Amino acid sequence: MPELPEVETIRSRLAPRLEGRTLERVEIVDPRLTRPEPPEAIAQALEGERISEVGRRGKYLVFEFESGRHLLVHLRMTGNVEHPAQGGLAADPYRRAVVRLDDGSDVAYRDVRRFGTWALLEPGELEDYFAARRLGAEPLERGFTTRALTESLAGRRTPIKAALLDQRAAAGIGNIYADEALWRARIHSLRPAGSLDGDEIARLRKAIRAALELGIVRQGATLRDYRDPEGRRGRMQDELKVYGRAGEPCPRCGAPIEKTRVAGRGTWYCPQCQELDPG
């Protein structure tokens, strides 16, 4: 699933190309993409809109229009946004929507498993939309402090990894970067979130930022479907310390990496560096 680094990579590639461009023609071929709204209505509403900014909130791509509307694109598990630097779009059975811009280029949305969503919001609806989904702080912004993270985890009995995945503690963290951050912080994924002390939370905040920043530098992790808008693979998969590496030696202590499940998700950790009961 594309997480913050993958979505931020897509955003940064699209922004200089799309900002200031007008949507001349919009074709949405998958009715699941915009449900419960009919795709024809969303396509018609989008035509003629001029993009003022391409932003991101958590795992959402946020297209802001000069009209004050916003198009929110959530890639879910296998979504991708394509905008080739040269040439047109090749035939693709997994393409769900195509947008023709006023410069003659096409932006396509591709999604193998069809879990991604598009939501068109009217002016003034953006903050309420995100508030209803209880998105936490942006972990790469100044507001993501040790104090803020402490307050968001206080009293929570859920495993710390589950707390990171639910987006309330920090927006944009998914399975890959949760495992990597917890390994960096030497915290077991099953530790109750509310049991972390001040030093552990400070380490975790720093580790989250480090894992996400490296993911952005490496242009995201391509484990299967993810590509940037030009079709290039990310390189973060070559930097992963524990995720997907069961049986391999921990880069820090040499103990074999183990796999378990937390909140229904495959979870990788070092049993020696990340003790469940550090006391």
Domains delineated in the chain: 4-132 (3.20.190.10), 146-269 (1.10.8.50)
Q: Would the pLDDT of 270 be above 80?
A: yes
Which is it for strands 51-57 and 60-65: parallel, antiparallel or unpaired? antiparallel
Q: Would the pLDDT of 277 be above 90?
A: no
Both structure tokens of 121: 């919001």
| Distance of alpha carbon 136 from the chain centroid | 13
Q: Would the pLDDT of 278 be above 80?
A: no
Query: What percent of the chain is predicted at pLDDT more than 90?
Result: 95
Catalytically active residues are 2-3, 59, 265
pLDDT band at 160 (very low <50, low <70, confident <90, very high): very high
Q: What is the pLDDT of residue 22?
A: 98
Q: pLDDT tens digits, residue range 9-60?
A: 999 999 999 999 999 999 999 999 999 999 999 999 999 999 999 999 999 9
Q: Would the pLDDT of 87 be above 90?
A: no
- Per-residue DSSP letters for 128-157? HHHHHTT----TTSTT--HHHHHHHHTT--
Residue 133 carries which side chain, given as an amino acid letter? R
Q: What is the pLDDT of residue 266?
A: 97
Asked if residue 150 lies in contact with residue 136, where contact means CB atoms within 8 angstroms, the answer is: no
Buried b vs exposed e over 247-269: b needs ≥16 C-beta within 10 Å?
Answer: eeebeeeeeebbeeebbebebbb
Is residue 256 reached through a cis peptide bond, with omega within 30 degrees of 0 on the bond before it?
A: no
Q: Would the pLDDT of 4 be above 90?
A: yes
Q: pLDDT tens digits, residue range 58-72?
A: 999 999 999 999 999
Q: Would the pLDDT of 88 be above 90?
A: no
Asked if residue 252 lies in contact with residue 180, where contact means CB atoms within 8 angstroms, the answer is: no
Q: What is the pLDDT of residue 279?
A: 62
